[in-house]
Amino acid sequence: MKKLCCLIITTFFPMLLLGQDYAPFPYDSVFFESSVPNSDLMPVVKHPTYPNAFETVNVKPNLSKIAKGINWVYDVNYYMQGRHWMGFDIKVQDVLYFYTGIYTSDDDYYSGPIPIDLNKNMLEKDTISFFEPLRHFGDTFYLEIQYDSLIENMIDTIKQYSFQVLDSNYLPIDLELGYNLDTLHYNINNQIFQISKNNGILKSPDFAYFPSTAQYTFKGKIKDILNIETDHFHKVFDLEVGDEIHTRTFGSADIGRTFNRYSRKIVCTDQEFDSTNNAYYTNYDIWTRYDKSVFSYITMTADSGFVYSQFEEIIDTVYLDDYEDLNVKIPNGFGSTNDYNSRGFFYRDESETLIYFEEYVFIFVSDGYIEMVPIADGGQEMDYYPFGLAHKFWDNRTVWGEAYSKPIYVSTTDTTWGTPYSDDFLDLVENSSVEVVFFIQENKIILPANHEYQDFRIYDITGKLMDYYLSSSISEAIDISKYTHGTYILIGYDGTSAKYFKFIR
Quick: pLDDT tens for 109-162: 778 899 999 999 999 999 999 988 777 888 889 999 999 999 998 889 999 999
* Rounded Cα distance, 454 and 494, in Å: 5
Q: Which helix (H) or strand (E) holds 425?
A: helix 422-432
- Segment 216-226 shows an average pLDDT of 89
**Cβ atoms 153, 182 nearer than 8 A:** no
Coil, strand or helix at 27: coil
pLDDT above 60: residue 433: yes
pLDDT value, residue 10: 31
pLDDT value, residue 213: 83
Handedness of CA 11, 189, 345, 415 (dihedral sign): positive
Residue type at 322 in one-letter notation: D
pLDDT above 90: residue 189: yes
**Cβ atoms 64, 343 nearer than 8 A:** no
* Rounded Cα distance, 475 and 323, in Å: 41
| CA distances to 170, 257, 283, 487, 495 from 244, in Å | 61, 32, 12, 20, 21
pLDDT above 50: residue 400: yes
- Segment 396-424 shows an average pLDDT of 80
| CA distances to 111, 140, 427 from 103, in Å | 7, 13, 57
pLDDT value, residue 376: 61
* Rounded Cα distance, 354 and 382, in Å: 11
pLDDT value, residue 256: 58
Residue type at 156 in one-letter notation: D
- Segment 378-384 shows an average pLDDT of 70
pLDDT tens, 260-270?
Answer: 889 999 999 99
pLDDT value, residue 235: 86
pLDDT value, residue 1: 36
- Higher pLDDT: 47 or 314? It is 314
pLDDT value, residue 120: 93
Query: Is the bond preceding residue 211 a cis peptide, omega within 30 degrees?
Result: yes
Q: How many residues belong to the chain?
A: 505
pLDDT tens, 287-311?
Answer: 999 988 877 666 667 667 788 899 9
pLDDT value, residue 108: 74
Q: Among residues of the chain, what percentage have pLDDT more than 70?
A: 80
pLDDT value, residue 110: 77
pLDDT value, residue 26: 73
pLDDT value, residue 14: 37
pLDDT value, residue 192: 96
DSSP state of 227: -
Mean pLDDT of the chain: 81
- Segment 205-233 shows an average pLDDT of 85
pLDDT value, residue 13: 38
pLDDT tens, 108-121?
Answer: 777 889 999 999 99
Pairing state of beta strands 88-92 and 477-479?
unpaired
| Residue 400 neighbours by CB distance under 10 Å | 14
The class that CATH gives domain 433-504 is mainly beta
Q: Among residues of the chain, what percentage have pLDDT more than 90?
A: 35
* Rounded Cα distance, 291 and 14, in Å: 72
Best-predicted range by mean pLDDT (10-19, 71-80, 387-396, 398-407): 387-396
Of the ranges 53-57, 245-249, 284-288, which one carries the lowest mean pLDDT score? 53-57
- Segment 73-100 shows an average pLDDT of 80
pLDDT value, residue 435: 93
Residue 104 bridge partners (DSSP): 78
- Segment 437-462 shows an average pLDDT of 91
pLDDT tens, 348-365?
Answer: 888 888 887 666 666 777
Confidence of residue 237 (pLDDT cuts 50, 70, 90): very high
Confidence of residue 35 (pLDDT cuts 50, 70, 90): confident
Residue type at 260 in one-letter notation: N
Residue type at 494 in one-letter notation: D
Which residues have CB under 8 Å from 436's CB, separation 6+? 492, 499, 500, 501
Pairing state of beta strands 125-131 and 215-221?
unpaired
Predicted structure pTM score? 0.77
Coil, strand or helix at 169: coil
Q: Provide the residue ranges of all domains of the chain, joining segments of one domain with +.
A: 29-225, 433-504
- Segment 447-458 shows an average pLDDT of 90
* Rounded Cα distance, 102 and 374, in Å: 14
pLDDT value, residue 9: 31
Confidence of residue 368 (pLDDT cuts 50, 70, 90): low
